[in-house]
Amino acid sequence: MFEKISKNENLLHHNEVGAIIQCKDCNRIAIIIQSILYTCEEKEYEYFFELIMDIDLNIEKFLFEIGDKNYVILNTKIENLNMVFDLTQFEYLTDLFIQSKYMKEVHKLLIN
């Protein structure tokens, strides 16, 4: 899906739930999760990373049962708009952010 990206972009990580790509020129980050595209500065990326890690550490506080299945629900800044992940998808989401954070550091080391 993301095999062909621009030479001005770094594919930080991708998996079954989405991808995280960073522009080499402006350092903005594109976070693609399922059908949602979120572009942000590094500061906002770090906030999102910390939010996901906090949820992962305290997942029982963020679980909601819908039907007979558990979901993790992430609130957004848009009223009445939330992101919903089943436990497998949330696992992919944490992997996506952890691996992308490692790759951001690798790219910084390669540049310096």
What does each of the 112 residues of the chain score in pLDDT, given as a tens digit? 455 677 889 999 999 999 999 999 999 999 999 889 999 999 999 999 999 999 999 999 999 998 999 999 988 888 888 899 999 999 999 999 999 999 999 988 888 7
What backbone torsions phi and psi does residue 77 show, to the nearest 5 degrees?
A: -75, -10
What backbone torsions phi and psi does residue 13 show, to the nearest 5 degrees?
A: -175, 150
| Global confidence as pTM | 0.87
Domains delineated in the chain: 9-111 (2.30.31)
